[in-house]
Amino acid sequence: MTRRAIALLLAVGMAAAGCTTAEPAGTDASSGSAPRTGSVAGAEAPAVDPGVLPTVEREPGTLRLAEGLPPPTNRWFSGLVFGDEAQPVFPLPLAVGLTASGFAYGLPEVRADGTLVAGAYAPQVEIDLGEGVTGVVTGYDAATVSVDLVAGDESVRGTLHLTRGSPVVRYTARAAHPVGLSRAFGVDAGAGLPEGTATTDVDGRDHVLTGVAGTDVGAALDEAGTTLELDAGESVAWLVAPDAAEGAETLGDLVEAASDPVEASTVGYATDPDAVTTSVGYATASGGPAVVVRFPHQRDVADDATCGLGTYATVLGTVDVCLGSELSWRSTARDPVVGLDLSGIDGSAREELVDQVAADAERVLDETRPADTYFGGKALARDANLWTLARDLGLDDVAADLRQSLLTDLRLWTDPDGCTERPERCFTWEPTLRTVVGQATSFGSEEGNDHHFHYGYFLYAAGVLAADDAALAEEVAPVVDLLAADVAAAADVPADDGPPIPALRTLDVVMGHSWASGPSPFGDGNNQESASEAVSAWHGLALWADARAAAGLEDRGLTAQARWMLSLEAASARAYWTDFDRSDPAAEGLEADVTSLVWDGKRERATWFSAEQSAALGIVVLPVTGASAYLGDDPERVRDNLAEALGTDDLWAQESAWDVMFGDQLLMYAGLLGPDDAASALEVARELPAERVDDGSTRSWMLAWLHQQAA
């Protein structure tokens, strides 16, 4: 019997509901485009085989998804596919929702107040197809999504097309039918707009309706301007006018471009020692420029798009309107780091570290590491760091004991047959969601939640331990490579039992950061809290890529890809979580220096797990590693963020101020202020209560990090 034939009955909360995949008459092929999921241009799929793991099938209910597509977990539009009812989604700057008989869109009103920036979905124009329909996702890639609107007889009424980062919504009729509009649109050829367009005023802003590929809106609209008569194959698009556009002529240029629809997107990247460049290409029907926006994290421009054509307020900040076939931008290059630099530490500082490492090693070796994928992975990464300290301090016996303990657990976790023998500390293949699920599960990982957080710790531990051990890298590669492919494959990974493992499952390339929720059952879109753990995931991926390369294993571009993802996520983590522009008009009224929970429809200083103010900063700092220097690019912002988290501007006036949740992480963050503050942090760190040391770290690591910063 093959591993794939093994069905395990594990206590992992598998749902009892039946699972079906929607099979509308109109699949992606009938919508005029090939199936797509968003591979990086020219990337090779990793050579992995999900069949090495035993299968545990989860039944999440009906998926509103065309047959043959991998379920899009961890995407900005996941809420369209999962759950009893489709959730609103935020292509941005617009928000879109499906209705019982069609769809609606609106430009969110962005308001900042206290610790929240909100831009909720509020429909402004509703499109009624005249009968009940269900939305079924029939194709997607890095920046585009196609949704067939399927009637009760399973015929496709039409297709809704959305583009990430575009103020345009497009609809294509698949059969001749009237389209009802909740607002009257009037044709006005004298408004400086292309002939055959129509407009309506919504709260003082023009919404423009234009034909696509020859569709004449003027001829299709009835006299009242509330009904469009569309023939099969005809398309129309809605464009919401931006703020501060340079007159009607500029708006006319945008409308003309909106009539040349975006059909697909492409992703590319380049790396050099100082910067990585990310490119998102927009392929239109006629090859013309697309109407897109440039987000705050994209402002180090590396393209020739025409921008300055207006602005929109979004929860991420003010975005600039552009016309172009590609948006490219640069992010500061970040490199992986194994361990810490102890070369400048000697004398009493070295003696302090030797004693603390010995004490911490004795403690962790006397404990059993947790069995679930989150806390179990954190413990492996924690002890891998402790091992590097013991090794670099010359504690050979301590290092040997730590390494042996780590290898025992790493081999347990990476045994492909592990879940045939035990219910935890092992991985399975879940064929419905096309994902790897660790046992025991935690934080909804069986639904796809937080996989990059969890697996990043395993990648990190494997990368550190196998850095100089080719035999170990080769031994654990079958499972560790699967973990990497699950969250970060650069190209779709073929699988014998169905659709592929999708490319870049968690990374939203346009936004430059990842999404944490698998099904995204929320009215504000998807979300990510611990941006620092996302950065850590790609740091782990980079360390694992280096270890594989050193072992002579086939690279397939992984070393460059990991550095790109690490650099891209670090830039967005600062742009939206820790170092965002407080002077942006969209943030006026915000009284928080950190927004620790970022959604498409809001940003807030809040966490899922604690109301403590220190938690909001700590969760976007941990885990502190050798690559965490990116958090300190603006020392004055570090100081402001700490003052907010601790409730005091005088960071060192009272040691008790640090006796808070994530006190150790905040002390290490304070080390980025410079040598003097790092020395002050050391004084506090020595006496910090043990319960304030995070379970993914040790006092040894905290002291060593601060000694490095103070040296």
Determine the straight-line distance between the first and last CA of the chain, rounded to whole angstroms. Answer: 59
590 C-beta neighbours (distance < 10 Å), count:
21
pLDDT tens track for 674-685? 999 999 999 999
In a domain, residue 77? The reply is: yes
Which residues have a Cβ under 8 Å from the Cβ of 143 and sit 6 or more positions away?
38, 163, 164, 165, 262, 265, 280, 282, 509, 510
Q: How far apart are CA 51 and CA 529, in angstroms?
A: 32
pLDDT tens track for 276-320? 999 999 999 999 999 999 999 999 999 999 999 999 999 999 999
Domain count of the fold of the chain: 1
Handedness of CA 42, 553, 502, 619 (dihedral sign): negative
Counting beta carbons within 10 angstroms of the beta carbon of residue 420, is it exposed (0 to 12), middle (13 to 18) or buried (19 or more)? middle
Q: What's the pLDDT score for residue 22?
A: 39
Mean pLDDT of the region 662-685: 98
Mean pLDDT of the region 579-597: 97
In a domain, residue 519? The reply is: no
User: Dihedrals φ, ψ of 197, to 5°?
Assistant: -110, 165
Q: Structural domain of residue 77, as residue ranges?
A: 3-264
Cis-peptide into 689, omega within 30 deg: no
In a domain, residue 685? The reply is: no
Mean pLDDT of the region 12-27: 34
Q: What's the pLDDT score for residue 190?
A: 59
pLDDT tens track for 127-141? 999 999 999 999 999
Q: How far apart are CA 398 and CA 659, in angstroms?
A: 30
- In which band, very low, low, confident or very high, does the pLDDT at 5 lie, cut at 50, 70 and 90? very low
In a domain, residue 252? The reply is: yes
Q: What's the pLDDT score for residue 216?
A: 92
Q: How far is CA 107 from CA 308, 334, 473, 476, 601, in A?
A: 19, 36, 50, 49, 11
pLDDT tens track for 105-129? 999 999 999 999 999 999 999 999 9
Q: Average pLDDT over the chain, rounded to whole?
A: 93
Is the pLDDT reported for residue 33 higher than 80? no
In a domain, residue 38? The reply is: yes
In a domain, residue 584? The reply is: no
The residue among 447, 413, 454, 410 whose CA lies nearest residue 432 is: 447
In a domain, residue 393? The reply is: no
The residue among 503, 406, 487, 482 whose CA lies nearest residue 453 is: 487
Which residues have a Cβ under 8 Å from the Cβ of 367 and sit 6 or more positions away?
none
Is the pLDDT reported for residue 518 higher than 80? yes
Residue showing tokens 């013991």? 390
Q: What's the pLDDT score for residue 62?
A: 84
Q: What's the pLDDT score for residue 106?
A: 98
Q: What's the pLDDT score for residue 57?
A: 87
In a domain, residue 256? The reply is: yes
Q: What's the pLDDT score for residue 191?
A: 65
Q: How far apart are CA 693 and CA 685, in angstroms?
A: 9
Q: How far apart are CA 485 and CA 528, in angstroms?
A: 20
Number of residues in the chain: 711
Longest dimension (CA), the chain: 88
Handedness of CA 153, 159, 162, 167 (dihedral sign): negative
Mean pLDDT of the region 223-229: 96
Q: What is the CATH number of the domain that holds 185?
A: 2.70.98.30
Is the pLDDT reported for residue 322 higher than 50? yes
